[in-house]
Amino acid sequence: MKTTNELVQMKRDKEKITMVTAYDYPSAKQSEQAGLDTLLVGDSLGMTVLGYDSTVKVTLDDMIHHAKAVRRGAPDTYVVVDMPFGSYHTGDDAGVRNVLDLYRSTGANAVKLEGIECLEIIRRSVSAGVPVCAHLGLTPQSVGVTGFKMQAATTEGAEQLIEDAKRAEAAGATMIVLEAIPADLAEKVSDMLDIPTIGIGAGVNTDGQVLVYHDLLQYGSDRQPKFVKTYSDFNTAGVSGLKSYAAEVKESVFPDETTTYKKRVFDQ
Ligand code: KIV
């Protein structure tokens, strides 16, 4: 398993860091088998796995439940877990308590918080020993205010994001996710910081990339942000397999000889 320091070293060595979201045992297991450097138990699980229309309804208990399954599926991969909406917005003490709870109970390697209003929580969590990943640009927990669109697209917005990234690093963040921002800005921020940046919709010049598992594999996902590239089509493969199974049951083709216990227990 990579350590936080090794991820920083990868940046220095200009070796790209791979990250994908994982929400359960099988997606974690597959991602570890595929050799991903890091996994993110994103609160995007609210949409991809739980069928909500945003991340806002996801609870701390949901995150703990899913992150534990990911840890079991990928015992040897660096796991980052999201603090969900509302779990760090009601005061620094409550926020830090929730960070510690999430970190301790899941066995994750780092905890991610969106936005810059939580600087004090980042500072206190890091000094308590928890590696923290910041998240700037489009922060899905705030889409009610910002909308799902590119962020920091003006000069002032870009300058603000640069300031925020510096403050997050100074507060002790060990990594920063940059979401849906112009590629030249993401490159500038990546060059400026010592800690790795992980981009999603932020161009190729960040220190690593993250995509949502269900988007890149087309698994139950029907929305397609501009920045997603699909690498497989689980939707088609899954529906086709399920149709074949249902048809074979209807036609009494399944189960067959090979899938039936043959020992006779009744005389005929
Ligand atoms: O929750 C999530 O999946 C995320 C990624 C979009 C970075 O935060």
pLDDT for res 100: 98
Going by pLDDT thresholds of 50, 70 and 90, the confidence category of residue 139 is very high
Q: What does pTM read for this prediction?
A: 0.96
pLDDT for res 195: 98
Over range 75-94, report the average pLDDT: 97
pLDDT for res 213: 98
Q: Is the CB of 210 under 6 A from ligand 1?
A: yes
- Ligand 1 probe mutation, 17, 18, 19, 21, most atoms within 8 A of CB: 21
Cβ atoms of 88 and 94 within 8 Å: the answer is: yes
> How many other CB atoms are there within 10 angstroms of residue 30's CB atom?
16
DSSP H or E run through 259: none
For the ranges 163-172, 188-197, 218-227, the lowest mean pLDDT is seen at 218-227
Catalytic member of 32, 114, 169, 179: 179
Interior angle at CA 138, CA 135 and CA 144, nearest 5: 115
pLDDT for res 223: 72
pLDDT for res 117: 92
Residue of higher predicted confidence among 189 and 224: 189
Task: Please give the single-letter amino acid code of residue 243.
Answer: K
What's the pLDDT tens digit per position in 54-76?
A: 999 999 999 999 999 999 999 99
The CATH class given to the 4-233 domain equals alpha beta
148: three-class secondary structure by DSSP: coil
pLDDT for res 212: 97
pLDDT for res 27: 98
